[in-house]
Structure 1
Amino acid sequence: MSTGVTTVCTSVDFHTGGEPFRIVAEPPVEIPGRSVAQRRELAVPGSPADDLRKLLCLEPRGHADMYGGFITEPNDDGADFGVLFWHKDGFSTACGHGTMALGAWAVSAGVVAIDPSGTTEVTIDVPSGQVRAQVHTDAEGRAASVDFVNVPSRLVASGITVDTSLGPVTVDLAWGGAVYALVDVAQLGAAAGSSQADEVGRLGEVSCEVVPENLTALIAVGREIKAGLAGHPDTVHPEDDRLSGVYGTIFVDRFGSLPSGELHQRNVTVFADGQVDRSPCGSGTAARVAALHATGELGARQTLVHESIVGTRFRARVLEETADGVVPVVTGSAHRVATSTFEVDPLDDLVPGFVLR
């Protein structure tokens, strides 16, 4: 007896440092556009691509912090493939943890042949430019680690004051394929002494740290900072307005240097509309490297150990300096967790789904 259930698509799911990435290698809908950037521009609400994003990202098939990508044709012969990144609120310009996952997937799925040297380069067109995943394989051909080589990144502006319910907060802006607001979390301790502190949680009553028990409060302040920077002239991309605007707020704990000489910091990135990156954030780490290099805090050959709120780590450094900033390389690992076939029951009234945050 026929169930009437329709198979929509199959995905391969990875996590990079704890952050999910759902890969749809063969999207079942047309995604028009001559380039990945234009495909993102045309993936408007109501388009087939956006409807598919919602189906795969919203509950009950996804969740508020789901992330993924649709594989597309590359812009030209210079890349192995393109990708349209998505999350619960739409399509993003960049995704470092997703790039690492895509590198591991491309090697494991045979999309790109493994280089006998043990390092296989996967070149990917993304909306913000062209990025590379350098996949380091072990003797059995498994992806042991992945280097994310980003687009040129730079410090955009420093010392911008944003009013929040905790009081004024000072932020720096940096570009790592998207614009991020960088915030030293320690300053929130002084700001949280205001009478309004209780409105965003317990941050005013505890030490200001990037720890899970402060996450609800940090999400609230992160949303306020992003909203407070809307339309700020320093958030406008000088060449492509499609890349303008603040993508996320990065709260940073500074720990100084490790015995190895590496710089150690912990962060949590609150992006889109209150979405939380479980990993140290790939493109956000690239932005952080650019900012620390610009101020001299990160030496020319020094490594940043960037830790996430769940304790996973990326290691990042400046690969080279260019006229457009620095090219960061961020190293992490990505692991396959599932292969899923998504279906739609014609009697299901929760299609494409819902989200509670």
Structure 2
Amino acid sequence: MGEPVVREPATRVRTVDYHSAGEPFRIVLDGLPPVPGDSVAERRAIAIGAGGSATAPRASALDEVRQLLSREPRGHAGMYGGFVVPADDAEAHLGVLFWHKDGYSTACGHGTIALGAWAVDSGLVAAPDNGVARVRIDVPSGRVTALVHRAEGRTTGVTFRNVPTRVAELKLALETSRGPVEVAVAHSGACYASVPAASLGLAVEAGQLPELTAAGREIRDLLAGSAAVSHPDDPRLSGVYGVILYDELGVDGGVLSQRNVTVFADGQIDRSPCGSGTSARLAILAAEGRLAPGEELRHESIIGTVFGGRVLAGGDPLGEGVVTEVTGTAHRTGEHLFQLEDGDDLGTGFLL
């Protein structure tokens, strides 16, 4: 008998994976092709094919890595992750391109929480054994900060400080297949529409997930072209990214509590309470007069995990925007060396 044939992998990609309140985040460490561009926002534009013919081959190679990691058999339709890229300048520690099965997002709060934990846990950013380390991250929507909380040499939580959040509409009337609803729209690094699930005859429960997903997709489509979803400063941040359907859970001990499910991209479901979506909810609640600066929102996900959020003093949610902070936890789930062998007919994978 001859020697067995060993097929060499054509592609190797090394990652470290985290979850933030249940939502996965896959951080790509090695195996990326060169990512052209002078800023994170420009790199994202090139990655989605807006860089012109000179950079299209590189963008295509980068997108093959996204597909490889977000599709079966190496990923799944709910996978989320980020490509670590250079920061825009020396004031930030790193840059990131956020990705999911449908493309590249402009913001990701749960991913920022995971990146903050990873940056400290890996030693990329020095941190005290007790206290807080600041990790400054350039994302397509601007510069954000992860405040990494430490106790006895361990990371115990991360607070995500977002770019300013602006409320575009509080009561935008829409006619849906489930009847008329009023939608609030806020820009928090990405554009989110919020609607009470009860106004659609629904509740934020796992058993109603197909109906919630369909409602979220319908509302996103109905808002296409609306002036409210156009970012006032940067057209690259325009268009509904996520629809937040929420339940009121009341006030306990002076803390307002809500449960939500965020339907984003092409019908993906955020397992966490959604970090940048929580920023949107905070600004809307502030604009409604229901949440004063410094007051806490307990924001629960459809799987029962929780982020805490607050609006910082200063700013105007209906004007220049407000700065929000969202606190949660991130935990490492594994380290991986993914391979794509020559001759693998499935290539970068498939989606069902």
Give TM-score, length-normalised by structure 1.
Answer: 0.91
Which one is further off, 212-221 or 41-50?
A: 41-50
Residue 335 of structure 1, aligned match among 327, 331, 348: 331
Which residue number in structure 2 is paired with residue 265 of structure 1?
Answer: 258
271, 283, 289: which one aligns with 1:290: 283
The aligned residue for residue 237 of structure 1 is 231
Structure 1 residues without counterparts, runs of 5 or longer: 190-207
- 2:322 aligned to which of 320, 326, 338: 326
- 2:31 maps to 1:35: no
- Would you say 1:350 and 2:346 are equivalent positions? yes
1:1-357 counterparts in 2 under 5 A? Answer: 2-44=6-48, 47-139=60-152, 141-189=153-201, 208-258=202-252, 260-322=253-315, 324-356=320-352
| Superposed CA RMSD | 1.3
Deviation at 1:312, TM superposition (A): 0.2
Deviation per residue, 1:211-247 (Å, 9 max, x gap): 1001110001101110111111111111111111000
Deviations along 1:127-155, one digit per CA (max 9) or x if unpaired, are 0000000001120x221100000001121
Q: TM-score, normalised by structure 2?
A: 0.93
Letter aligned with residue 350 of structure 1: L
Count of aligned residue pairs for this structure pair: 336
Shift of 1:186: 1.2
Alpha-carbon shift at residue 27 of structure 1 (Å): 4.4
Structure 1 residues 296-334: Cα deviation after superposition (integer angstroms, max 9, x where no partner): 111222100000000000000012323621110000000
Determine if contact 1:83/1:124 at 8 Å carries over to the other structure.
yes
**Sequence identity of aligned pairs in percent?**
53
CA contact (8 A) 1:26 1:71 kept: no
Structure 2 residue identity aligned to 1:184: P
- SS at the partner of 1:147? strand
User: Is the Cα–Cα contact under 8 Å of residues 320 and 328 in structure 1 kept in the other structure?
Assistant: no
Would you say the 8 A contact 2:203–2:247 is kept in 1? yes
Q: Which runs of 5+ in 2 are unaligned?
A: 50-58
Contact 1:26/1:70, CA 8 A, preserved across alignment: no
Quick one: distance in 2 between partners of 1:211 and 1:183? 15
Instruction: Indicate conservation of the 8 Å contact 1:18/1:279, yes or no.
Output: yes
Query: For residue 214 of structure 2, what is the amino acid of its counterpart?
Result: A
Q: Distance in 1 between matches of 2:17 and 2:155?
A: 15
| Alpha-carbon distance, 1:169 to partner | 2.4
Alpha-carbon distance, 1:165 to partner: 2.2
Q: Which is further off, 265-274 or 151-160?
A: 151-160
| Structure 2 residue matching 1:107: 3-state secondary structure | helix
Q: What does the per-residue CA deviation read over 1:71-120, in whole Å, with 9 as the maximum and x for residues that have no partner?
A: 00000011000000000100000000000000000011001011355211
- Which residue does 1:196 correspond to in 2? none
